[in-house]
Structure 1
Amino acid sequence: MLPADLTYMRTMIANVALAGWPGSGSWVLVDAGVATFADNIAKAANARFGIEKPHAIVLTHGHFDHVGSLHALLERWNVPVFAHEDELPYLTGMADYPEADPGVGGGLMARISPLYPHKGIDISRWVQPLPKDGSVPGMPGWRWVPTPGHTKGHVSLFREKDLSLIAGDAFITVKQTSAFAVLAQEEEIHGPPPYFTFDWQDAWKSVKRLDELKPRLAITGHGKPMEGEALAHGLAELARHFDRLAIPKPKSGSDKSDDFQLV
């Protein structure tokens, strides 16, 4: 069961989190989902908090399915956005993400991944780096944890008092390469979406870091929240066997180090 001051909303293929006490009028949006969901997010916020406008928006990272509705929300709300400093080039129009690799993971979602946007966006007017002390603006009791690998500046958010985790795409709870699994929201822990992950060794270190926190509850960027023994066991297994369960290996018959398929 989610804490009373934390909920999530699915935007087609990706989740956003809303943190704050219902009716308090003070809350924070974590990630901004896919495009065209600005109105849905605003209506859900107004119903839950009695006000649309959040204190801030915090980004786990800047991939298209986590910032798709961001610009529309910022034009509507005009609030600060916080992200890791290593993510800022992709949020200020200075850099683009690598193109998706459809050769990893198998499944329809992976095969159509070249169609997914990979260009950076420019929200220079609103974005600023997360505080270096690890605090999360507008979210007292939470701290941000560096979890690079899926992107250079990926972060997750953790609250010590109840061991709640907002993991972004450091790990996810659905097989994101499979269209059927995404539609059915089958619950199982996986590594980050492989077609957009740029550094697998860092991604493994990040999963180990999150496993060491022993979260009791996790909201991830894709899939349903997980808690309790299912989360603990699945995350521990992923941390222990990430090389077998998540890291792509060279396709048979290829000696290219970047020519991958999933184990």
Structure 2
Amino acid sequence: MEQAEAEQVLDDVAFYRTLIVNVIFIGKEQTDDWVLVDCGISHYSRRIIAAAEKRYGSRPPKAIVLTHGHFDHVGSAKKLADHWNVPIFIHPMEMDYVTNQRDYPVGDATVGGGFFALISPFFPTHQPDLSRYIHAIPNDGKLPSLPDWQVIHTPGHTPGHVALYRPHDGTLLAGDAFITVKQESSMAVFIQHQHVHGPPAYFTHNWEEAEKSVQKLAALNPVTAITGHGLPMGGEDLSHQLKELASNFRELAVPKHKRKLH
């Protein structure tokens, strides 16, 4: 088993990479007031728990928040919730996907760009049933367990995708609304070259909404961003590249054969 230890980004925000996707810990070390954002792929629950115990001891999180319900973000959610007996929050428009009511569309291999895109039709689209633990994020985007954070609806990658933003220091947890690695390419994922990219193309099915969501997040002018895939970014690199993506989204993010946006 790989060493299970979260990498600190801020004194109260850290992330742990579960093979291809990040889970995020909000809360200072050894606090009993912390929240887990996203749950990684299946079979990573033990490693996520180990990373959490190294950071917080035996203290369970107050809640789990899911940016969306794709397999690589909810794979270990049920086992983690079973272990900690805590609520899981997700946007109302994602609820059907994590309660066995609907399946996500099959991955689109025609977007090109690398190995992960090619094999995406084989990625799971039917998610674990989280009915026992799942709760809808309130319409005002406020969660009692995260009083300093705003939950922002950022549809496009999925209908109920959300990002989390903390206004007082400009920290953004973007989920897959945009990411900092070219996720379609296995080589890019392996070397983790930092650069702002659009959402994973093979699982993004509404490009008009995805464009609006990136523009919404760019307008916040975040200081630090942690995304679902890739390494954290900040400073001028983040600011410049995110604004460039927002301004030229169709050319930079949308596959050529899907650029018929209104």
Alignment TM class, shorter chain as reference: over 0.9
Partner of 2:72: 65
Identity %: 50
Match of 1:243 in 2: 250
Residue deviations 1:131-186 (CA, integer Å, cap 9, x gap): 22211341220010110000000000000000000000000000001111001111
Greater alpha carbon shift after TM alignment, 117-126 vs 31-40: 117-126
- 2:115 corresponds to which residue? 108
CA contact (8 A) 1:157 1:166 kept: yes
TM-score, L = length of structure 2: 0.93
Which of the residues 163, 172, 175 maps onto 1:168?
175
**Retained in 1: the 8 A contact 2:74–2:127?**
no
Mapping for residues 250-261 of structure 1, pairs under 5 Å = 250=257
> Does the 8 Å contact 1:144/1:158 carry over to 2?
yes
Matched, 1:42 2:49: yes
Q: Deviations over 1:10-54 (max 9, x none)?
A: 000000000011111221000000111111111111111122521
Q: How many residues align?
A: 252
Does 1:156 pair with 2:166?
no
Q: Give the stretch that moved more between structures: 9-18 or 35-44.
A: 35-44
CA distance in 2, matches of 1:41, 1:137: 23
Q: Mark the CA change 1:52 to 1:11 in structure 2 (over 3 Å): closer, same or farther.
A: farther
Aligned to 1:8: 15
Determine whether 1:202 maps to 2:226.
Answer: no
1:38-71 deviations in whole A, cap 9, x for unaligned? 1111111111112252110000000000011111
Q: Which consecutive aligned stretches of 4+ in structure 1 deviate over 6 angstroms post-superposition?
A: none
- Name the SS of the counterpart of 1:128 in structure 2: strand
Separation of aligned partners in 2, 1:35 and 1:123: 14
- 1:89 touches 1:95 (CA, 8 Å); kept in 2? yes
Q: Unaligned stretches of 5+ in structure 2?
A: 1-7
Conserved in 2, the CA contact under 8 Å of 1:94 and 1:120?
no
Q: Would you say the 8 A contact 1:102–1:114 is kept in 2?
A: yes
Q: Residues of 1 paired with 2:47 and 2:236: CA distance? A: 33
Give the RMSD, CA atoms, in angstroms: 1.2
Which one of the candidate residues 26, 29, 32 is aligned to 2:33? Answer: 26
1:78 aligns with 2:100: no
What is the TM-score when the length of structure 1 is the normalising length?
A: 0.93
